[in-house]
Amino acid sequence: MKHTRFFIILSILFFPVLSAAAPENDNIPEELIKSAVMLLSNNGRCGSGFITTSGKVVTNAHVVESLCPGDSCGAIILRRAGAIGASAEQIVASGALKVERIHRALDIAVISSEQPIEGAFDFTRAEPAESEIYVLGFPGCKQLALSKGRVTAADPLRVFTTALGSYGSSGSVMFNHNKQVVGIVHQSGSMLGGVLAMIAGTQFECKGVPAASLAPLLAQPDNEAWDGSAQILLKVLLETAPLLPVWERLRLDFDLMSAMQGLAEDAASVDLPPEDILPLSLTDSDIEILARLNRPNLLTGRRALSEQLLLAYLLEMRGLHNKQLRPLNLNGLQQRLRELTVSPHYERLNEQLTAFQRSGYPGTYISGLAAFIPIAAVILLLAMAWSASLGYVFATAHGGFLRRMTVAALVGITVWPLSLLLFLLIGRQRKTSP
């Protein structure tokens, strides 16, 4: 009975995550089904991907880095299923695979072979709209599955959907009812869904990277694609973030942390000259780094873009504060920037500072702290009440020391505080009984 109550409560709490819509085929073309592939390594790890008309496989950067040591994917086997619900038994390609493109900032990668990989579907791309969405891939590294849901929100960095996936869904293609690519799955849409998937193997609502942001990057040389990634992140910081409520903004900022780290790694991998970019691993940086650079009074191209991005990111994370949350000397920073930069670029940086100051957003560090203090206080109060109740149970239970310890432990681990109420009711009945 105790176990039944426990699982009923769990099902109520996590019903949106544990429930799964039945997959529907909805007249999916055979060519589209054949374009979906499973990437399988000899260590048992896997991911999903899809074949483009160029005969190459598009998947996630984190899938490639998990399966391929360095740039070598020689141990990877590409498999496909003959139908939805079937296992991936047909080998599409193996050996002689290589990582052709990888963009960690937006979690996208391209794998190619010496010979074009057969089975492509002629996808066109579309902007994500709040309508029906399909995800085609290999959740759980098992059968090919089609999950149907809806797009609930989107920005240049993310597409949120109600379509369900699980481990192995990363790299799955997301397409609309017109069979146009809307995005590529890259993780769970919520922290709770991701945690439950890791612990219990449950399904989660898929979040993807928009195809409209990815397609131009894949058509550009690596150096230009780095600029494109940086411009997308800058656009998100300047245009998307200020419009979000605090909780949504905090969630976006967690995604931006990962994207910025990926952008820094991408810069090293494409051999961008160090003098062309600012350090984008920001653990030891503060906002006034922009005013302390010893360089010529000229900023153009990539250096100007990276300075705008770094300033926007640091403001988003720390607000008008430096490292260790020291108040920022805004007037001093503006004066120093005026001295070091040419007029058009100074105006852009100063506009960012002014707009952020007017927004009143204190930064992610302070907002996150303010948001989680009430949660921490509630958890602390519950912990104190739980401890006090167990002490009361131990003191009032009948029997010897071992019996009282056992009763207190059972009350503490069995659907507390309902178990405490049950203990109190039983105790009252014993007192009133003749």
Condensed to tens digits (0 to 9), the pLDDT of residues 162-178 reads 999 888 899 999 999 88
Residue 343 lies in a domain: yes
Indicate if the pLDDT at residue 135 is higher than 50: yes
Average pLDDT, the chain: 80
State whether 324 and 211 are in the same domain: no
Average pLDDT over residues 198-225: 82
Q: What percent of the chain has pLDDT over 90?
A: 22
What integer pLDDT is reported at residue 60 of this predicted model? 93
Residue 15 lies in a domain: no
Q: Which are the contacts of 80, defined by CB distance < 8 A and separation ≥ 6?
A: 34, 36, 37, 38, 88, 90, 92, 119, 144
Q: What percent of the chain has pLDDT over 70?
A: 81
What integer pLDDT is reported at residue 158 of this predicted model? 93
pTM for the model: 0.78
What integer pLDDT is reported at residue 204 of this predicted model? 85
Residue 21 lies in a domain: no
State whether 357 and 254 are in the same domain: yes
State whether 355 and 232 are in the same domain: yes
Overall domain count for the chain: 4
State whether 408 and 358 are in the same domain: no
State whether 327 and 274 are in the same domain: yes
State whether 138 and 205 are in the same domain: yes
Indicate if the pLDDT at residue 207 is higher than 90: yes
Q: How does residue 127 score in pLDDT terms, banded at 50, 70 and 90?
A: confident
Indicate if the pLDDT at residue 21 is higher than 90: no
Q: How does residue 407 score in pLDDT terms, banded at 50, 70 and 90?
A: confident
96 is in which domain, residue-wise? 30-113
Q: How does residue 277 score in pLDDT terms, banded at 50, 70 and 90?
A: low
State whether 96 and 175 are in the same domain: no
Tokens, residue 291: 């005013």
Q: How does residue 56 score in pLDDT terms, banded at 50, 70 and 90?
A: confident
| β partners of residue 158 | none
State whether 346 and 231 are in the same domain: yes
What integer pLDDT is reported at residue 72 of this predicted model? 65
Residue 138 lies in a domain: yes
Look up the CATH number of the domain holding residue 137.
2.40.10.10
Indicate if the pLDDT at residue 18 is higher than 60: no
Residue 290 lies in a domain: yes
Own/partner contacts of 423-427, CB < 8 Å, gap of 24 or more, are 423/393, 423/397, 427/396
State whether 386 and 355 are in the same domain: no
Residue 68 lies in a domain: yes
CA-to-CA distance for 430 and 433, rounded, in angstroms?
Answer: 5
What integer pLDDT is reported at residue 300 of this predicted model? 55
Q: Which of 70-74, 188-192, 292-296 has the highest mean predicted lDDT (pLDDT)?
A: 188-192
Q: Which residue would you say has higher pLDDT here, 325 or 242?
A: 242
Indicate if the pLDDT at residue 282 is higher than 80: no
- Contact predicate 375/338, CB 8 Å: no
Q: What is the 3-state secondary structure (H, E, C) of 383-424?
A: HHHHHHHHHHHHHHCCCCHHHHHHHHHHHHHCCCCHHHHHHH
Q: Which residue would you say has higher pLDDT here, 204 or 296?
A: 204
The helix/strand/coil state of 137 is strand
Looking at 362, 388, 419, the residue that finishes a domain is 362
What integer pLDDT is reported at residue 156 of this predicted model? 92
